[in-house]
Chain A
Amino acid sequence: MGSVGAKEVPVLLSPEGVRTDGRRVDELRPIRIEAGALKHADGSAYVEWGANKVMAAVYGPREVHPRHLQQNTKAVIQCKYNMAAFSVDERKRPGLDRRSQEISKVIAEALESVVFVEEFPRTSIDVYIEVLQANAGTRCAGLTAASVALADAGIPMVDLLPAVAVGKAGGALVLDLNKAEDNFGEADLPMAIVPQSGRLVLLQMEGHVTQEELARALEMGVQGTRQVYDKMRQALRDRYASAPSAEAAQ
């Protein structure tokens, strides 16, 4: 309906408070988490979050490579976030870019704040996050997957670490932005919150919100991460509850 030449901005929020994908403002996309999806990794998880598909693998604690990164008092967490070339509509040029380096860094730092790194001095915990299909919110899906993979690897942690994005679209705060809201919305705040303590260990922001909106966004984030947290715990339970059927299939 947009006039010729003008960029078409979809209606992100109907007057009734319904979003482009039919969700309410405080609703998450459907999330499916599978723990232990990979055989060779020490721990792994696969997450489908709306149209996002993310695989995470954890190795370690193990010897540090390269050596000079080794720390004498604690383990280092090395994280590599990568998007597959086929994960987006237009082929993504493979390899490191500024965006993936940034996401790797913030995820590694968030994880370091929940893992008991002092228990494994001079070692490395390597986290690999591969985005197979991207549709807004991959860093949150990736961090969530990485955290489940760490638990699956038997690594001691303060708590699981769920992540979710809150944004502003169509003038209102919305939980868990979808692609349209991410592209055309007013703000995007990915965050990760330790559920038991409420500690905020990752917060980024793009766009503009008022101070009051920020406070409310954080509250919505707490609610959102709670829901993600339940799914993560269920995934870890299912992993071991379903073992007998895997055996029956054999």
Chain B
Amino acid sequence: MGGKVYASVLGLLSPRPPFVQVVPLSGRYIPKPGDDVIGTVTDVQGTFWLLDIGAPRWAPLHMTGTPWKIEVGETDQYLRVGDAVMVQVENLDPTGRIGVTMNGEGLGKLEGGTIVTISPARVPRVVGRGGSMIQTILQRTGAKMAVGQNGRVWVGGDPVAIERVREVLRMIDEEGHQHGLTERVDSYLRSTGGPSGGSGPTGPAAPEPALPYPRADPADREPDDELASEPAPDTELE
């Protein structure tokens, strides 16, 4: 408008000549094919489940998209309302319908542990550049983590470790748009005890399935720390 470009969402301005990019500060998860996401079952039908993945709409998971051999009507023996699963976004159609699958490496039902929800805009910060942030967290707490691109993070391990990870994720969620985050998280974790959260009565190594955190694909790169930090006005060309 008038030779100017306006942003449609609230975010940080990131000029990368010859382009400009606005890194959003908030907003719902917008699904993208290939994303690994964590969902919870909200409805069970004869041949599919509906998953809440934090997107604008519920995503149907068809029984053929699972590693199980299921007869029609047996879906509720495998996943029930409230269960959590790691799935991958397969396709999107123009009406906004989100197709997901559970066939693939690292996908499946999530058992044990807990799920922490953060803003989807902060996911690249949780992973960190080249996985630096998540490596720091895993090493310093001894917890297990699986990060969904939709801002849901599964955390397993012993309860002390889970609590420490939860606190770190809260930090990332609230301060993720600022600089030097990995260092601050690291010093926080150092100041609150050694790896695995002290020498508490650690039971047998947690029986949860060890899910690899999603491989950091190029799109996961955290935005450069040197980003201009001026919020763009919420406007776009009409």
Contact = CB atoms under 8 A, between A and B. Distances in A.
Interface of A: 42-43, 60-63, 72, 75, 116, 120-123, 151-160, 196-197, 233, 236-237, 240, 243-244, 246-247
B175 A196 contact: no
A20 B238 CA distance: 41
Given A160-B235, A196-B235, 11 more contacts: A42-B26, A116-B8, A154-B10, A154-B28, A156-B8, A158-B8, A196-B1, A197-B1, A197-B238, A236-B231, A236-B234
A154 B26 contact: yes
List 8 A-B pairs, minimum CB-CB distance, nearest first. Answer: A154-B27, A154-B26, A156-B8, A61-B56, A123-B56, A159-B235, A151-B234, A121-B96
B131 interface: no
Interface residues of B, number: 28
Interface of B is mostly: loop
Contacts of A244: 175, 178
Contacts of B6: 159, 196
Interface in B7-61: 8-10, 24-28, 56-58
B81 to A, nearest CB: 15
Given A121-B96, A151-B234, A236-B231, A63 B58 contact: yes
26 contacts: A42-B26, A42-B28, A61-B28, A62-B56, A63-B57, A63-B58, A72-B95, A116-B236, A121-B96, A122-B95, A123-B96, A151-B9, A151-B234, A152-B10, A153-B27, A156-B236, A157-B234, A158-B235, A158-B238, A159-B235, A196-B235, A197-B1, A236-B231, A243-B177, A243-B178, A244-B178
B174 interface: yes
Interface in B132-177: 171, 174-175, 177
B9 A246 contact: no
A116 B27 CA distance: 14
Interface of B: 1, 6, 8-10, 24-28, 56-58, 94-96, 121, 171, 174-175, 177-178, 231, 233-236, 238
Nearest to B237: A158
A122 B96 contact: yes
A153 B26 contact: yes
A67 B231 CA distance: 36
Residue in A123, A153, A240 whose Cβ sees the most chain B Cβ within 10 Å: A240
Given A122-B95, A123-B96, A158 B236 contact: yes
Contacts of B177: 240, 243
B8 A243 contact: no
Given A61-B28, A236-B234, A243-B178, A123 B9 contact: no
Contacts of B235: 157-160, 196
B174 A247 contact: yes
A157 B233 CA distance: 10
Contacts of B57: 61-63, 122-123
A72 B93 CA distance: 12
Contacts of B121: 154
Contacts of A160: 233-235
A84 to B, nearest CB: 27
Given A196-B235, A237-B231, A120 B56 contact: yes
Contact of B174 (A121, A151, A246): A246
A173 B68 CA distance: 72
